[in-house]
Amino acid sequence: MQQGYTGPEVCKITGISYRQLDHWTSTGLINASIRNIKGSGFHRLYSFNDIVLVKLVNKLRDAGISLQKIRVALENVSKLLGKKKNVTDVSIFSDGTSIYVLTENDQMIDLLKKGQAVFGISLGPVHTETEAEIFSLFPEKISVQNR
């Protein structure tokens, strides 16, 4: 059986208030995937992955992202991943305005624009490629540059 964490434990782990956790769970932003029962004598039980999502939401909120945008992003990342993967298998980025996911094939997708792909360029490989091109075309210049 999967280890479960109560609301107060999740709050202690994540640093959010119980009221905030209750609101996020009641509105469906976060799930208590082990047991999502609210009522007298019952406690919701959150999984480890639920706690990771709570921390993600909290970090995005700290970055100034609205709950409405976070909700859309989480829905779109779930659609993108399908049942075969977990949200902890991806990297999520934000520039304070939008939320992006980096897929396993290094494609960056804007989660707020219905999966519109964006692109990024890692400058390390561009540097190496440029250096190699200069060396092959102008070998005398590269040796001066590296001195």
Say how far apart CA 48 and CA 2 lie, in whole Å: 9
pLDDT tens digits for range 10-56:
999 999 999 999 999 999 999 999 988 766 667 899 988 899 889 99
- Helices 48-62 and 67-81: crossing angle, nearest 10°? 140
Q: Where are the domains of the chain?
A: 1-62, 64-147
Q: Hey, what amino acid is at 32? A: A
**pLDDT at 146 (0 to 100):** 52
Strands 99-102 and 116-118: unpaired
CB 10 within 8 A of CB 51: yes
Which architecture characterizes domain 1-62 according to CATH?
Answer: Orthogonal Bundle (1.10)
DSSP class of residue 102? E
